[in-house]
A = this chain, B = another copy of it.
């Protein structure tokens, strides 16, 4: 496998990638990304950031949504990017969102702090090259049936264009059993940590597909050496416009980070838990307050 940029070679340490001046990944402190599957409106994003601040160090929210059906809600698009920006300014949390085309890269790169390539596009090579020319770090999700080698080579595509800030994300692979949505492949996480020098994070939400399985899988991911987690949570999970079955409540998300702490310590890592202090309401600009509230509940 000719992955001259991604393979560890003789390097023994994970490459530390700076997301903002005070948040990085690949270092002692874990990257904990929380937030909803989809940016639905300003209100729910503000609520999410308020509740999660002090427990996570990055907020997620999809604005360009890859949906199986062309008739399902496709995301708030540019308007959603503005919401992410406003929430980030108010909360201080860096943001990440998925991009699905070269045009999305153009509009999202100046606004969010990390770009995400989703599973369905892991081998969309033109898109990989486009984020390879972007200015922000890229979270690259493993394809639904991508081999470990194909996954690494997809990272290499991005890096070969100049953007070396790639974070690999294991999020479950397709298998024969439909009890869990996908099968979380932690063996791949261990292998990727050994083969490459890139940070590796884990998304247990899409792997499990059922919220009651998410917390224990998150603990497992940290125990085996993952550099972070990406977990879906929502102010009212059952009302989420997409992937409702797998989202944690905001409270459960905060509780989970507390459960992760002793595991993190056992493997020499720390979690971004704030020292206990009353969480303040976030104040966001009035102009954005008018954002659409009802994007409609659409099936996946």
Contact = CB atoms under 8 A, between A and B. Distances in A.
Interface of A: 2, 66-71, 100-104, 120-121, 123-127, 129, 144-145, 147-150, 153, 156-157, 160, 172-180, 183-188, 190-191, 193-194, 207-208, 212-213, 216-217, 219-225, 262-263, 265-267
A222 B157 CA distance: 36
7 contacts: A67-B125, A177-B188, A180-B191, A184-B187, A186-B220, A191-B213, A220-B223
A16 to B, nearest CB: 20
A255 to B, nearest CB: 15
A258 B123 CA distance: 37
Given A104-B126, A263-B263, 18 more contacts: A66-B123, A69-B156, A100-B125, A101-B102, A101-B126, A102-B102, A183-B185, A183-B188, A186-B217, A187-B207, A187-B217, A190-B208, A193-B216, A217-B224, A219-B267, A220-B221, A265-B266, A266-B266
Given A124-B121, A179-B147, A184-B186, A70 B174 contact: no
Contact of A148 (B177, B212, B224): B177
Nearest to A204: B187
A68 B179 contact: no
A160 B70 contact: yes
A156 B67 CA distance: 12
Contacts of A160: 70-71
Contacts of A156: 69-70
A176 B179 contact: no
B126 A123 contact: no
Contact of A262 (B153, B172, B176, B266): B266
B224 A220 contact: yes
Name the residue in A129, A173, A194, A220 with the highest tally of chain B Cβ atoms < 10 Å from its Cβ: A220
A123 to B, nearest CB: 4
Contacts of A68: 123, 149-150, 153
A69 B124 contact: no
Given A66-B123, A190-B216, A144 B145 contact: yes
A185 to B, nearest CB: 5
Nearest to A74: B125
Contacts of A184: 185-187
Contact of A208 (B102, B121, B129, B187): B187
A113 B155 CA distance: 34
